[in-house]
């Protein structure tokens, strides 16, 4: 019986498809070290003149790993820039809460949370802030996780809450990124 289960497991593992086309992804043009994108022959042209106001909600992170949701913000910027949208029309915002907020803290706070692990998100946050991305931390979650305003990376702002920040961004024309 054990032999059959091992054999069945091996067949499943061998039948898992490989990711084809990953070599088609590259960084840039706006953010050079994160947010890899691929060229796509799209049937949906981007409408000229639109202000791309997307609000990203990030509540998770993995210790020692670049936050994939933060990387998605970089990918949005690179996709739009590569498609000819001027940076003046690209306005992503980020609301970080729960364990995700540790990813936007300084090295000392990150190490405190994750027992000496280096924060791989620092360079990405610096690039996003340099491109004008607004990054807000939910103050209610910050109190829960004992994260002080002084623990946040430069450019990251403390908000009253994630809920109020989403409401304010929505009032400014932002749409929550699904």
Could you read off the pLDDT of 71-118 as tens digits, one per residue? 999 999 999 999 999 999 999 999 999 999 999 999 999 999 999 999
Q: Using CA atoms, how far apart are residues 86 and 104, in angstroms rounded to an integer?
A: 27
Question: Using H for helix, E for strand and C for coil, what is the string for the chain?
Answer: CHHHHHHHHHHHHHHCCCCCCHHHCECCCCCCCCCCECCCCCCCCCCCCCCECEEEEECCCCCCCCCHHHHHHHHHHHHHHHCCCCHHHECCEEEECHHHHHHHECHHHHHHHCCCCCCCCHHHHHHHHHCCCEEEEEHHHHHHHCCCHHHECCCEEEECCHHHHHHHHHHCCCEECC
What mean pLDDT do residues 5-17 have? 42
Identify the pLDDT of residue 18: 53
Q: Residue 11: is its pLDDT beyond 60?
A: no
Identify the pLDDT of residue 120: 98
The rounded percent of the chain whose pLDDT value lies above 70 is 89
Could you read off the pLDDT of 26-82 as tens digits, one per residue? 999 999 999 999 999 999 989 878 999 999 999 999 999 999 999 999 999 999 999
Q: Residue 19: is its pLDDT beyond 70?
A: no
What mean pLDDT do residues 6-32 have? 65
Identify the pLDDT of residue 22: 77
Q: N- to C-terminal Cα distance for the chain? A: 45
Identify the pLDDT of residue 12: 40
Q: Using CA atoms, how far apart are residues 105 and 174, in angstroms rounded to an integer?
A: 25
Domains and CATH numbers, the chain: 28-39+50-176 (3.40.1260.10)
Q: Using CA atoms, how far apart are residues 69 and 35, in angstroms rounded to an integer?
A: 10
Q: Residue 3: is its pLDDT beyond 70?
A: no
């Amino acid at each position: 019986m054990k032999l059959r289960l091992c054999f069945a497991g091996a067949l499943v593992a061998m039948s898992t498809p490989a990711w084809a086309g990953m070599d088609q992804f590259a960084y840039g043009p706006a953010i050079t070290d994160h947010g890899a994108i691929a060229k796509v022959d799209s049937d949906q042209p981007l409408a000229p003149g639109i202000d791309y106001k997307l609000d990203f909600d990030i509540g998770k992170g993995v210790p020692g790993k670049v936050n994939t949701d933060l990387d998605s913000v970089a990918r949005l910027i690179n996709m739009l820039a590569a498609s000819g949208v001027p940076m003046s029309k690209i306005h992503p915002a980020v609301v970080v809460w729960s364990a995700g907020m540790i990813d936007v803290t300084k090295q000392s706070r990150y190490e405190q949370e994750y027992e000496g692990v280096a924060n791989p998100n620092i360079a990405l946050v610096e690039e996003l802030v340099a491109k004008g991305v607004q990054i807000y931390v939910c103050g209610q979650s910050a109190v829960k996780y004992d994260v002080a305003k002084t623990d946040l990376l430069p450019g990251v702002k403390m908000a009253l809450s994630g809920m109020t920040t989403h409401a304010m961004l929505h009032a400014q024309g932002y749409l929550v990124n699904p």
